[in-house]
Amino acid sequence: FCLMAVPGKVAAFRLPPLPTVGEIIKLFRLKAQKQLSQNFLLDLRLTDKIVRQAGELKNAHVCEVGPGPGGITRSILSAGVEQLLLIEKDARFVPGLQMLSEAAPGKVCVVHGDILAYKMEKAFPKHLKKNWEDEPPDIHIIGNLPFSVSTPLIIKWLENVSKKDGPFIYGRTQLTLTFQKEVAERLTANPGGKQRSRLSIMSQHLCTVENCFVIPGQAFVPKPKVDVAVVHFTPLVQPKIQQPFKLVEKVVRSVFQFRRKYCFRGIETLFPESGRLKRTEQLMMTADVDPTLRPFQLSMSHFRNLCNTYRKMCDEDPSLFAYSYREELRQRKKTRNLLKSTSQPKQTEEENQL
């Protein structure tokens, strides 16, 4: 359900000044909830700077995720957007956002809902669609994300990029989002870097990822224990690994499962115990990957080769992709516990006979 103020005869487009923290709390009885990992950014110079990273927004269509008290919202509106969709999960913020909607008649649509469940395919007008090979559409997603939601959300959107659905049904929609500084470093890390991780590969094989700037923790209310970074994503015309998202995710997750050990250790978890060593050697030889490299030392071409070779092996043995190393460990533990529990009473019986 979308709340939008109806445009009337307005002499000049003007936003109300941003209330102070005290005024916001007093007006709407708001408090950042720790369990929702909420942190508000109320400095307009910083919110303007975040919005500038998105690029030219004049006459653009923008979706802001988790606007909260509306600091970034005001900066987006000041950039001269055509339409602004606000998706806010916390009902406490809706009255304040509705106040902004009334200050910008016909421009702002407020949706009370969860971004993880929201159907982004219908968020924007159809005429904005562009071919994937063309320049990105005049559509932007911007958000100061709660820490608890940022990683699952970017993984969801990266899968959408891979499938060209969700917000990417319109073309190569750009994202400008905040993350914990450490997560931002993982997203943008190069091979050999300490922060190189699963997130680095999953994001960089599908997008150009730029770590724009860092916002110190003390700029937020309440102050988090970590600094925050603004990251900009532009989907690539061609992914660097041309395999299904779930396959790439499985290979990358397996490799980084033991990030401090040789990459051989993680790669072998792709295969069942029976024939594991032989198949692991086959995969690494065909993919031309040195088994003594650490996961963070592997380049994008290493991962491309691993994914392409693993795909061929899955095509030859369709049961291979469904195999789960963790499930095998769980089953083995279950069997051990079962044997232990069935042998226990017998032992007691023997002791009673003595």
Binding-site sequence positions for S-adenosyl-L-methionine:
39, 41, 66, 88, 114, 144
Is residue 146 within 8 A of residue 43, CB to CB? The reply is no
Cα torsion angle, 254, 255, 261, 263, sign:
positive
Q: Determine the Cα–Cα distance for residues 237 and 21; give it in Å rounded to an integer.
A: 43
Neighbours of 13 (CB within 10 A): 12
For 124-171, the DSSP string reads S-GGG---TTSSPPSEEEEE---HHHHHHHHHHHHHHHHHT-GGGGGS
Is residue 4 within 8 A of residue 104, CB to CB? The reply is no
Q: For residue 319, what are the contacts with CB-CB under 8 A and spacing of at least 6?
A: none
CA 8 vs. chain centroid, Å, equals 39
Is residue 231 within 8 A of residue 177, CB to CB? The reply is yes
Annotated binding site: 39, 41, 66, 88, 114, 144
